[in-house]
Amino acid sequence: MSSVSQQSSLGEQSSGHSNQVSGAARLGMGLVEFIVTIAVMTASIALAIDSMLPALPAIGRTLNVANANDTQLVIGVFFLGFGLSQIFFGSLSDTLGRRSVLLAGLALFSLSMFAASWVESIEALLLLRFVQGIGGAAVRITTMAIVRDCFGGREMARVMSYVMIVFMIVPIVAPTLGQLVIAYADWHWIFILIGVVGAALFVWALTRMKESLPREERLPLSVGAVLSGFRTVLTNRITCGYMIGMTLFTAVICAYVVSVQQVFGEVYNLSDWLPIAFAGTAGGIAVANFANGYFVRSFGMRRISHTAMILFTVVAAIGYVLSLAGTPAFTISYLLFSLLLMFFAVIATNFTAISLEPMGHLAGTATAITGFVSTTGGALIGGAVGQLFNGTLQPLFGGYALFGVLTILATLWAENGKLFTHPGDSDTTHEHGGGHL
């Protein structure tokens, strides 16, 4: 199929760009090339996180890390840099254009990866991981903005679904890739490999991607606009309440990722099986996302996410009670974690959409603000739970149960005490936002 026919079927118009070249042609690409490019760029961030998991014990030994829990910071600090810097890149790309910010992010990401392959102390590595997170945030924010520039409405949703299919492969295979590297070389080569990927993406973007935001559509850089956006987000019950839930569930995935190597290695002595087990839970997340996409039109975002939120809390509480009585059998723990992460996927996806419902024309600003708050807060809270690891599953299951309870309370506050259906809804499954403080 030619790129022209592909674009006519999957994106002939983009939001607000009816007088411009639209779809993938806006970047000078065919549709398949566009989807693969965006997916691989986004997936490079997941690669920078998940491929490190099998290497954490070796990093700790090489850099003389006394407390095994401190090696979790190699993951947690990346999350922190990624979260803190998101809000800046949204505004910068609106002012300077997507391409320049994307190229700068890829350059920072790649160079800091190569630099990390030479470190001799944990402090230097953590500093570079923070910088890598900043570079990754620039890539993530600009690629999502590029998709919005090129496609609108249903076409954007369809393109993003194809992007996610490619993206979901990376969390499944990345730990295996990391384990293969440390089996035949040392952990420094993981950073070199990711640096090469980043450099290749930089060259590809430089030579193949045009600017997607014309100069006449760019916005002046304004601190006032960001502060006004914060005020709008924080004074809307729906957006603020669900942002709190998103923060707590970002903490869920962060706590899991920073702890999973120790859970498999120290609790169950199954370090060699980590890539396969991690791939299984990542596959479960993918299945949950596809199922959510299928059922959400019939049942609505609130019914599905509120049910998942309650079930998540119940399952986490069961896991905590079982862990108090001793270490549960691996099969039981793995089943519980798989269920919890599937619920996480459903909750995170729908909470993100619900939080943006009342924002209207501020959706772009609100996305940057909620992403900044939820990722930064989630990294700090999830990292704190990881630091509580004591050779048992109690901190992880206990933290999850607490996150679930707090999310239920935040959601009740956001919805004026009514779950499953927004108080302003009619008897249909139509959902809308509202509810200023």
Average predicted confidence (pLDDT) for the chain: 87
Alpha helices in 120-152 (DSSP H): 122-150
Closest by Cα among 409, 343, 379 to 79: 379
Identify the sign of the CA torsion 297, 301, 307, 308: positive
Calculate mean pLDDT across residues 27-36.
91
Residue 15 has pLDDT above 80, yes or no: no
Please give the Cα distance from 51 to 290 (Å, whole number): 24
Task: Could you please state the CATH topology (level 3) that the domain comprising 21-221 is classified under.
Answer: Growth Hormone; Chain: A; (1.20.1250)
H or E element, residue 109: helix 98-116
3-state SS, 226-290, equals HHHHHHHHHCEHHHHHHHHHHHHHHHHHHHHHHHHHHHHHHHCCCHHHHHHHHHHHHHHHHHHHH
Cβ proximity of 403 and 248 under 8 Å: yes
Calculate mean pLDDT across residues 87-103.
89
Closest by Cα among 99, 106, 109 to 209: 99
Report residue 426's pLDDT band, with 50, 70 and 90 as the boundaries.
very low
Residue 135 has pLDDT above 90, yes or no: yes
Name the CA dihedral angle for 372, 374, 379, 380, rounded to a multiple of 10 degrees.
100
Calculate mean pLDDT across residues 274-280.
92
Least confident of 94-108, 116-130, 162-176, 191-205: 162-176
Q: pLDDT > 90: what percent of the chain? A: 63
Residue 332 has pLDDT above 70, yes or no: yes
Please give the Cα distance from 350 to 323 (Å, whole number): 30
Exposed / middle / buried, residue 129 (Cβ in 10 Å: 0-12, 13-18, 19+): buried
Report residue 4's pLDDT band, with 50, 70 and 90 as the boundaries.
very low
The residue to which tokens 């603000």 are assigned: 369
Half-sphere exposure of 288 (CA within 13 A, CB side): 22
Calculate mean pLDDT across residues 318-334.
96
Domains of the chain, residue spans: 21-221, 223-423+431-437
What is the per-residue pLDDT for 9?
40
Angle in degrees, 0-180, between the axes of helices 274-299 and 330-356, rounded to the nearest 10: 40
pLDDT tens readout for residues 62-86: 999 999 899 999 999 999 999 999 8
- Residue 436: strand pairing partners: 236
Q: Retrieve residue 335's tokens.
A: 């089943």
Residue 434 has pLDDT above 50, yes or no: no
What is the per-residue pLDDT for 25?
87
Q: Retrieve residue 410's tokens.
A: 């935040």
Report residue 211's pLDDT band, with 50, 70 and 90 as the boundaries.
very high
Instruction: Please name the residues in contact with 276: beta carbons below 8 A apart, sequence gap of 6 or more.
Output: 176
Which one has a higher pLDDT value, 92 or 402? 402
Calculate mean pLDDT across residues 84-97.
87
What is the per-residue pLDDT for 16?
42
What is the per-residue pLDDT for 238?
93
What is the per-residue pLDDT for 12?
38
Task: Could you please state the CATH topology (level 3) that the domain comprising 223-423+431-437 is classified under.
Answer: Growth Hormone; Chain: A; (1.20.1250)
Q: How far apart are the first and last CA of the chain?
A: 51
pLDDT tens readout for residues 365-393: 777 888 899 999 999 999 999 999 999 99
Residue 156 has pLDDT above 80, yes or no: no
Closest by Cα among 213, 202, 179, 147 to 57: 179
Calculate mean pLDDT across residues 77-98.
90
Residue 361 has pLDDT above 90, yes or no: no
Say yes or no: do domains 21-221 and 223-423+431-437 share a fold: yes
3-state SS, 291-335, equals HHHHHHHHHCHHHHHHHHHHHHHHHHHHHHHHHHCCCCCHHHHHH
CA R_g for the chain: 21
DSSP state letters, 386-404: HHT--SSSHHHHHHHHHHH
What is the per-residue pLDDT for 121?
96
